[in-house]
Chains A and B, each alone.
Chain A
């Protein structure tokens, strides 16, 4: 979906290095979310945002931080990557009462 893009699509990084994933939307949606997908766990919420500079933790937020300085951008940062953060990361956007529109995902490998 052209309304939401994630970058990079793939990344390999070393343990202990910082990593930032970017989500960009052109839909002007208020809500933005970061999920991770792991086998046996489905999609788990990391952090979400309900407006510029308004963010909150999800169920698996340890080791992650987020920032939203503009409506269109939601950044996910791994301050010091660990192997347990190897996963596929999805960004999603929504408005109240609507379902989510997901990005295509970022496959992150921490070696």
Chain B
């Protein structure tokens, strides 16, 4: 049972344009959501997070939107840069789960110069 799902295995965008990565979840107990970025041969690194009490969180070029009614979140990167090319993982946790994260399958983002 895939509780966190990223339906797009890959996404390709032009430098300077917006990248939108999507994530859906099924567990209504999830109340904290994160995005991780992973380069080849490295571990994932934290990018941005959002609590369920918010619907938007922004950090520089990165913005995460949360739609609780649709159980959907998205990561917007604008403008996209070639250095943003990486695998992006969506993750979610529920209060009381000892912060245990459930990850999606990941989306490979390629930003073309």
Q: Which residues of A contact B (CB under 8 A)?
A: 1, 31, 33, 35, 40-45, 48, 50, 90, 92, 94-105
Interface membership of B25, Cβ < 8 A? no
Partner of A31, one of B6, B34, B99, B103: B99
Contact between A96 and B99, CB atoms less than 8 A apart: yes
Instruction: Tell me the complex Cα distance, A57–B48, Å.
Output: 27
Do A90 and B44 contact each other (CB < 8 Å), given the known contacts A42-B6, A99-B34, A99-B49?
yes
Q: Which residues of B contact A97 (CB under 8 A)?
A: 99
Interface string of B93-113 (1 = CB under 8 A from A): 000001111111110000000
Q: Which residues of A contact B103 (CB under 8 A)?
A: 35, 42-44
Q: Which residues of A contact B104 (CB under 8 A)?
A: 42
B113 to chain A, nearest CB (A): 26
A28 to chain B, nearest CB (A): 16
Tell which of A42, A45, A98 has the most Cβ of chain B within 10 Å: A42
B31 to chain A, nearest CB (A): 12
Instruction: Tell me the complex Cα distance, A102–B41, Å.
Output: 12
Number of B residues with CB within 8 Å of any CB on chain A: 22
B11 to chain A, nearest CB (A): 15
Q: Looking at chain B's contact residues, is the secondary structure mostly helix, strand, loop, or mixed? A: loop
Q: Which residues of B contact A (CB under 8 A)?
A: 6, 9, 34, 36, 41-46, 49, 89, 91, 98-106
A89 to chain B, nearest CB (A): 10
Which 9 pairs from chain A and chain B are nearest by CB? A102-B43, A42-B105, A43-B103, A99-B46, A42-B103, A42-B106, A102-B44, A104-B43, A99-B34
A4 to chain B, nearest CB (A): 8
B93 to chain A, nearest CB (A): 9
Q: Which residues of A contact B105 (CB under 8 A)?
A: 40-42
Contact between A48 and B100, CB atoms less than 8 A apart: yes
Partner of A102, one of B34, B45, B49, B98: B45
